Structure 1
Amino acid sequence: MNDTKKKWNLSRLKSKMTPYWFISPATLTIICLVVYPILYGIYISFFDTNLVNKWNFVGLRYYAQALTDASFLHSLMKTMIFTVTVVCGHFVLGFIFASILNTDIKYRTLFRGILILPWLFPDVVIAYLFKWILNTQGGILNELLMHFSIISEPVGWLSTSATAFPCVILVSMWKGYPLVMVQILAGIQTISHDLYEAAEIDGANMWQRFRYVTLPALKPILTTILILDTVWVFKQFTLIWLMTSGGPGSSTMVSAIEIYKNAFSYFKYGFASAQSVYILVICYLIGVVFRRLLRDD
């Protein structure tokens, strides 16, 4: 009797543990690749260290220093402008192309494949492609503009403060809009056509159908994409680093590049870690704010 009960309890325990065994590989991966680096970065922010044999505890000094550091505050402002502009561009382009692809146009499948290509290319490829296009000497953009007599001499698109930041923004818009486009297109195709017909019978015009039918139906998708896209753009590093390295001057110095230079050019690991913690908090707050603003009534 006791043996039977023990076997039954063991079988029950195995049954309860089965789901946890299935999720354990993903959990361990997240702990090793996400949780541990975050906690270690927070730990480093309390020390003046070279990560080898120098560990001088400084408490919250670097956190206070970051709040008064002009370079960090400037990069934070640049990041805000960059994020708002690029995310808005992603959604404008995403809505336009998704609406076009949702219509019954010729070669629609071909256009879908073409329009999604920017998202499929790695950031490195995109950065060097546009660095060649925007090159001062021999760049295809300058050559075309001079050929049609729009400009009289080559323009340093990435080497001039006035044009470098707008160029980086436009390239980032082009790179990221396919993700938003695909998600919006998938959401639009799940909306029943009966809703549009009912709205049209009630006298709703195109804008009213978009506002009162399309947007409410897409709200869950838009919330998720808005949060993810904003956080991804806010942490953008590769594209800007390869195109301008934060220059010329500090015209494209976003927070990610500012932190990278402090850590790996000036070896201020503690200070860079404190700045990274601020970025972590900001990204978390972005998600919280968007979820509260766009939550279902």
Structure 2
Amino acid sequence: MLALIAYPLVYGMVISLYDTNLLNKYDFKWLTNYKDVLTDPGFLKKLYITLKFTVLVVAGNFIVGFVLAILLSMNIKGRAVFRAILVLPWLFPEVVVALIWKWLYNPLYGLINYYLMEFHWVKEPLDLLGNPNLALFSVAIPAIWKGFPLVLVMIMAGLQSISQDLYEAAEIDGANAWQSIRNVMIPGLMPVLLVTLILETIWWFKHFTIIYLLTSGGPVDATSVLSIDIFKQAFEQFQFGRASATAVLVFIICLLISYLYRRLLRDDDK
């Protein structure tokens, strides 16, 4: 624990207080790096893009995962096969996911533009990753494709823990399908939903791989999330102190998000 978690975490926080090249330059700056980051308008812009990306992906994961979990909890033919197939995106490495979708998005030979043209939905191919108005949404779709199986598995596990007696009691009381979902299913899933929501939000808030491989933060910083900004500060501009300060701020934001979720979605009956 000390070697793998505590030391890197503390070391990153210490580095954020210095102007350093990690070799022979360690100029103590105290909180100057934090001040520079927080007063930089670009930080707030990238924070907004990061929040927007996180909301899109987490909402998409929960919508797709929740709907599929309900369908797969029904007694349908071939349910086990569908469960195995729908978990496959989760098993792919993120690099593979990014390369697959980069090929699908290609304006010259990508399948997405091919079918858009085939069904006459567009008159000319769309540069989905090169258009600043479409890039963030286009990057969010592969992230949703990669991430929804986790939500699917978690919700399916939660559904199995809800007693069928509760559904039968609700049906006897005259509840329809929507009322059963709202008053029986959702409360029963709340502990699972809370854990899943926290994990999903934190994971996609600090996500790097898919976005970087698809757009590298472009075009015109349309997909420049905080993780990419940290990478460029550290390994392109060699501002390791400022990059560490930004990373510490991301860590604090993730802690605040987790705390707010637990406060807003806590079970008041316990």
**TM-score under structure 2 normalisation?**
0.97
1:256 is aligned, of 210, 227, 230, to: 227
* Paired position in structure 2 for 1:200: 171
1:96 aligns with: 67
Counterpart residue number, 2:100: 129
User: What's the counterpart of residue 161 of structure 2?
Assistant: 190
Aligned residues: 268
CA offset digits 1:243-286 (Å, max 9, x no partner)? 11000110000000011101111111111111111001011111
Give yes or no for the alignment of 1:64 onto 2:35: yes
1:107 aligns with 2:63: no
Output the CA distance in 2 between the equivalents of 1:110 and 1:174. 18
**Identity of counterpart residues, as a percentage?**
51
Q: Shift of residue 144 of structure 1?
A: 2.0
1:295 Cα deviation from its structure 2 partner: 1.9
Q: Which has the larger radius of gyration?
A: 1
Partner SS, residue 56 of structure 1: strand
Structure 1 match to 2:145: 174
Corresponding residue of 1:27: none
Shift of 1:33: 2.4
Structure 2 gap ranges (5+): none
Matching residue within 238, 256, 262 for 1:267: 238
- Which residue, out of 99, 116, 121, partners 2:87? 116
Matched AA of 1:48? D
The offset of 1:32, in angstroms, is 2.0
Matches of 1:67 and 1:268, distance apart in 2: 15
- The DSSP-based 3-state class of the residue aligned with 2:19 is strand
Question: Where does 1:16-95 land on structure 2 (aligned, <5 Å)?
Answer: 30-95=1-66
Instruction: Report the AA paired with residue 141 of structure 1.
Output: I
Which residue of 2 is the match for residue 221 of structure 1?
Answer: 192
Q: How far is 1:212 from its partner?
A: 1.1
Give the letter aligned to residue 255 of structure 1. Answer: L
Give the counterpart letter for 2:209 in structure 1. T
Measured after TM superposition, the shift of residue 166 of structure 1 is: 0.6
- What is the Cα deviation at residue 196 of structure 1? 0.5
The aligned residue for residue 254 of structure 2 is: 283
Q: For 1:184, what is the secondary structure of its paired residue?
A: helix
Q: Which residue of 2 aligns with 1:160?
A: 131
Q: Which runs of 5+ in 1 are unaligned?
A: 1-29
- Runs of 4+ in structure 1 off by over 3 angstroms are none
The one-letter code of the counterpart of 1:191 is: I
- Give the secondary-structure state (helix, strand or coil) at the position aligned to 1:161: coil
Q: Shift of the alpha carbon at 1:76?
A: 0.6
* Equivalent of 2:216 in 245, 248, 251: 245
Distance 2:61 2:239 in 1: 35
Structure having the larger proportion of residues in helix: 1
Alignment partners' CA distance in 2, 1:93 and 1:55: 49
Aligned-partner Cα distance in 1 for 2:114–2:56: 28
Shift in Å, 1:149: 2.6
